[in-house]
Structure 1
Amino acid sequence: MTPGRPVPPPLARPVLPNNDAFADPAADPDTDPGTGVLAAAYGAVSADSGLVPLTVARRAPKADDVEIAIEFCGLCHSDVHTIRGEWGTQNYPLVPGHEIVGTVSRVGSAVNDFAPGDRVGVGCMVDSCRECESCLDGLEQYCENGITGTYGAKDPRNGDAITQGGYSSAVVVDRRYVLRVPGNLDPAAVAPLLCAGG
């Protein structure tokens, strides 16, 4: 912080509906190591539906995956444009949200840089080809073969399933696209920063 600049107050925790579907995914009996998790979500079922309660199936964590219990997700104007189909045809249902902060609930067998309980974030992309010059240089956002967006994108490593975003209770992401969030930062204030690309 700049000396003399006032410190903003911490943001309040959102109030969720009193609904068993919003239970902690880490405590869900359907999250044993061989299965994915059913995540409670808000998404659009058409360009003019607005957001409605949904359930989305998250893949079982693969060796390099991190499963995250989502605590905060920012609202970006691009979410609104995408839901309305203003930036091209969309596949519905569509769960938006690419400003994700949460806590690691479990990790794949090859993940050694994150552990359950770690505070983490996910930005606007969840994969890339990992083979082109840009990806090999650590510039995945310039992937010559195209990135996999956090929502509304085909996920080639998951049978071309359409990715679903952070307006949900849980997400599974390859560790390469997960960022550590320092414990001294307000997670609600961190979420909007992830719009910059993570």
Structure 2
Amino acid sequence: MGIYSEHIFPRLMESGLKGEVHRGYRRRALARAHGEVLEVGFGTGLNLDCYPESVRRVTGLDPAAVLERRVRGRVAEAPFRVERITRDAADRLPFPDGHFDTVASTWTLCSIERLPTALVEMRRVLKPAGELLFLEHGRNGGPWVARLQDAVNPIQNLVACGCNVNRKIDEEIEGAGFRITELERFIMPGVPRALGSVYLGAARRASGRRLTNPRRVRR
């Protein structure tokens, strides 16, 4: 890791994601988390105070450890056990099949390089009745905004350390063998559509064929 990706960008990202608006979105996304949770993209631990009381333990997965002093403080204040693993989400995860009650991802699926492989691993370690809870930004449904996202994505990818603004998050999740049960699409207030097109929802492991359509809310 370089100075920018290890020290500068994590501070910029945390500054942008730690406000009350983003915290409110995270709490909504994580409201149904329970039991054993795998958090993919643990980052600096901003989600720790957004989990409900039904969570027993969070295993945080991230390819790099950054801002360690801040992270240790947040881990110490968490009301549940927190374990951390430094590993790429697309690598084989060191957990048995069906291990976690919940897999959570917030603002992370945009930046995993081998996303299809990572999502398959998330599905593998999720219990059959478990849920994938996600809060992500991605491809806008409007053609002109989507074209703009395609145009700016190489720049975004460079300055934001691998972040992509044009991924179809719902299609990526379903393509890995999940069935989306709830999906809310909206634009974050005060954020350009190209950067603030949000996917917030939940998914379960699909069983062979595609089942009922998810409840989709757009605004």
Range into which the TM-score falls when normalised by the shorter chain: under 0.3
TM (norm. structure 2) is: 0.24
TM-score after normalising by structure 1? 0.25
Structure with the higher fraction of residues in helix conformation: 2
* Higher RCO (CA 8 Å, separation ≥ 6 residues): 1
